[in-house]
Amino acid sequence: MQVLVLIQDRTFLIASRVACKATVSKLLLKKKGAIYVKQSQSQKELLGRATSRYAESISLAEDYLASRGISKEVARLARLGVVEEPEPGHEQYTGRLSIPYITKTGVVDLRFRSLNPAVEPKYMGMVGADTRMYNVLDIEHAGDWIGVCEGELDTLTMSRLVGVPCIGVPGANSWKKHYTRLLADFERIFVFADGDAPGREFAASLARELPVTTITFGDGEDVNSAYIRYGASFIKEKMGLNID
């Protein structure tokens, strides 16, 4: 009877390890930038074509981007654009900044930001589209730690201007459970919380699931405003890391 129990226990252990390896493999595939909702090739081509067309009109956002400290080169690398001549179905986004969500497979989503502070809503997403993680390619480039931001432009600021690998979500309420699994193997995660109640709650909720270090910049401040006011070195000092 004892031998039988030992054999059963060993069989269960082996089965558990196999299942664990299968789960890890799936997570690694996700970590390398796999998209979360399967899209048809035609959908990707439409998004890619729209991204390229809107990028041709990025000069229309030159003043706005300069006010956010975002250079033409950073805008080009992120494939930002302006909806001057909208693709069919994009008419409601005319005049807005287009922000593509890019993975290894190409553009998987677009979001649109108002360039006029008086125009609401500030951000608009594709009709019927689910929210996604922004800048997922930085997961591949990161080492033992990574940053998390609210908002695409804050994420872009950290990744391209400050030089800190970073992913982002469209807002404090956009975090999904599988995002936690994607980041579970990082030793440390810096959450750059916006200086408001939703931002603080967002950081607190992640701290309950991940090894989080929360970085704040004061009431009403966020990553981009801190970068503009104090520069990249200030943010790196706040992180307590010696980053070149």
pLDDT at 128: 87
Q: How confident is the model at residue 38 (pLDDT cuts 50, 70, 90)?
A: low
Delimit the domains of the chain by residue range: 41-125, 138-239
Per CATH, the number for 41-125 is 3.90.980.10
How do residues 86-144 score in pLDDT, each as one tens digit? 999 999 999 999 999 999 999 999 999 999 989 999 999 998 888 999 999 999 999 99
Alpha helices for 32-131 (secondary structure H): 41-55, 62-67, 72-78
Rounded CA separation 101/32 (Å): 15
Q: Which CATH number fits domain 138-239: 3.40.1360.10, 3.20.20.80, 3.40.640.10, 2.60.40.1260?
A: 3.40.1360.10
The band of 17, judged by pLDDT with boundaries at 50, 70 and 90, is very low
Residue identified by tokens 């408001």 is 196
pLDDT tens-digit map of 156-206? 999 999 999 999 999 888 999 999 999 999 999 999 999 999 999 999 999
Q: What is the CB neighbour count within 10 angstroms for residue 182?
A: 20
Q: Specify the pairing of strand 123-125 against strand 145-150.
A: unpaired
What is the pTM for the complete model shown? 0.82
Tokens of 227: 């970068």
Contact predicate 121/111, CB 8 Å: no
**What is the Cα–Cα distance from 124 to 54, expressed in whole angstroms?**
16
